[in-house]
Amino acid sequence: MLEKDLQSIVDRKFRKTVEVCSNEEIYLALLELTKERIKATGNNEGKKKLYYISAEFLIGKLLSNNLINLGIYDEVQMILEKNHKSLSEIEDVELEPSLGNGGLGRLAACFLDSIATLGLNGDGVGLNYHYGLFKQIFESNTQVETKNPWITKEGWLEKSDISFEVPFKDFTLKSVLYDIDVTGYESNSNKLRLFDIDTLDETMVKDGITFDKEDVIHNLTLFLYPDDSDKAGHLLRIYQQYFMVSNAAQLIIKETLEKGHDLRKLYEYVVVQINDTHPTMVIPELIRLLLAQGIAMDEAIEIVTKTCAYTNHTILAEALEKWPMEYLEKVVPQLLPIIIELDKRVRDKYDNEKVYIIDKDQRVHMAHIDIHYGFSVNGVAALHTDILKNTEIKHFYEIYPEKFNNKTNGITFRRWLIHCNPLLSRFVTELIDEDYKRDANKLEDLFKYIDDDIVLQRLLEIKHKNKVTLKNYLKETQNVDIDENSIFDIQVKRLHEYKRQQMNALYVIHKYLDIKKGNIPTTPITMIFGAKAAPAYIIAKDIIHLILCLQELINNDPEVSPYLKIVMVENYNVTKASKLVPACDVSEQISLASKEASGTGNMKFMLNGAVTLGTMDGANVEIHDLVGKDNIYIFGKSSEVVTKLYEDKGYRPTDYYEKDEKIEELVDFIINKKMIKIGDPVKLARLYKELISKDWFMTLLDIKEYIETKDDMFKDYEDRKAWSQKMLTNISKAGFFSSDRTIKQYNEDIWKL
């Protein structure tokens, strides 16, 4: 039946047989076939509906994901093989949607998958960015940003006939709504609803990613997180955020009224999840729309407070947005009276400026709106939630202890095991059957094989095959040769100083100097990085420059390169992650303790049999508790020690640099003659000075213990049986980190759909 349907589409579209079609033609035919099958499954329904609003959704390519969720992946693969076609080559035709950047967007995508899989009535709501964050290319060992187009004439986006007027101070913009179907695993589907404008002018982007930031009517949905290093950039972000939430709020009101519901009981029919602070203005906007419906202010505020819930994703000040009143006045003056009223009510109740919405500098704290005027506030890992309650926003916890709860993040195992690692997935199915695909806790059944030499050997063989696949992929895409018999040590994530890629780079220097002294590692090491730095984040771009310079130095040194290779993956994204994750031996999760809210890369690597090297931060704490101290490598100062150092201003990097010859040697190498010859002296000197004079995320505090722990880990890798037992333990204990579990908890405790 499936083969007949595919041939019928191919015949109608191209007047050909499947066998003679190009990969591009087969992709378009599969796209149509998949969309038809999704429509046939129907949508999830229920009395109450979730609107999950997020600035980003890093959904990745959708073809294979949808085929798996529809239960037809294997059959499609067989049909194609019969016709001498490769599904993986056809997947390469698909462009990855440029709708997200890092963990925030990937989490939102995993959540949508689980919401649909669990049969819950919930849609994602965001913006339809045409060029995404940016496409990263490396030139002269430096990150260069260019646009990242992904929208094609035929794709997953379906234009709807829904449109709203969004009022700004000086003009009104008309929106257009595009939908992407979100399939559940052997379940019904929901939608990702993306708002756009018809007036967008893609041609206004000139060199790289520069464009006129003030021409909002033509630029609004060009880029995710446009450069906000100037006032025009700040204003554009506010325009984007209000456009997103005004459309979301109008959609909520429209759909609620169409169902014949009473807006005065909105919270009985609707729940809004605010993913980080970007969608915060949905709170005053919903109040504004309810006022326009004739509902009084007191009641409107009560209704919205019972409808909205907030997820905090960070304790970094930069991500807890604060917008100057002056900027809001320029963009959305209609919201200011409401925000002022919300702040007045807080001031009337509480005599503590730390909980006010508008501070003494006339800035509006978006997270404060979320906490006061939402019914739930959740962190995303146990440690993160404790830090929020005890330090960062403890004043709010003292007022609203009942609002605070933890929902440890999770990942969808459909994409991050079944799709990205079919060898391991099939082996797991052989051992414990298929139930783990619906109930990830069933992976625990693997633990009974912990002393089974045949199973452990198979695990090592699967890892080796995945390493060969990655080796071939990197040769083809980046023209770099790596040794599949080496240890694959991988750190891939957004580039930020708190994630401490700079510390990993100092380890590279340590290992390089060690090999130069004749200390040859027993097993060669391949260290793989992948990260984008925000265009205006100078030090982050300098860290990328350092890594790329080390890559050039080491990979071209015949004394060192047989034993140590460095690879910086260009334009890291979901597609590249799916190649890297199955091949990883050592998973680098080395953020400064207390700074990473959760992390989800740590979960993906763990699920695929990598062993974590990390600090006691974010979800690493829960991984440690699950696998036990012998199956994870922990180093570094605790979050309590780090927090006290910040409070007491007790950390001075110069103390470590000047008093420790080893640290001095590593840091000085950044501006060594060999490095200056390869790199940009200004960039390298700037990073060098940053490390010895500021080092805000305490690289030098933890570097020596990091080096010792990592060297110990590489030694332990030599005992292949013991290492394979660590792999099996990690896989078997990963079930807790399924996003299905996370979403069940959100629904039981917050949404109640």
Active site residues per annotation: 313, 493-494, 499, 600, 604
Sequence-distant (6+) residues with CB within 8 A of 295 are 263, 264, 303
Q: What is the length of the chain?
A: 753
One-letter amino acid at 433 equals D
CB atoms closer than 10 angstroms to residue 682: 10
Render the burial of 76-108: b for 16+ CB within 10 Å, e for the rest: bbebbeebebebeebbebbebbbbbbbbbbbbb
Q: How far apart are CA 366 and CA 168, in angstroms?
A: 19
Q: Helix, strand or coil for residue 597?
A: coil
H helix or E strand, kind and range, residue 677? helix 673-678
Q: How far apart are CA 65 and CA 182, in angstroms?
A: 10
Smallest Cα–Cα separation from 65: which of 177, 173, 183, 176?
183
Provide the token pair at 674: 């060999």
Provide the token pair at 277: 């602070």
SS3 percent helix, strand, coil of the chain, rounded to 5, is: 55, 15, 30
Provide the token pair at 585: 């031996």
Smallest Cα–Cα separation from 25: which of 156, 81, 17?
17
Render the burial of 707-724: b for 16+ CB within 10 Å, e for the rest: bebbeebbeebeeeeebb
Q: Helix, strand or coil for residue 141?
A: coil
Q: Pairing state of beta strands 142-146 and 165-167?
A: unpaired
With beta carbons less than 8 A apart as the criterion, state whether 486 and 565 touch: yes
The residue ranges of DSSP E strands in 650-721, in sequence order, are: none
Q: How far apart are CA 591 and CA 384, in angstroms?
A: 13
Q: How far apart are CA 325 and CA 340, in angstroms?
A: 10
H helix or E strand, kind and range, residue 715? helix 699-716
Cα 89 to the center of its chain, rounded Å: 25
One-letter amino acid at 158 equals E
CB atoms closer than 10 angstroms to residue 308: 26
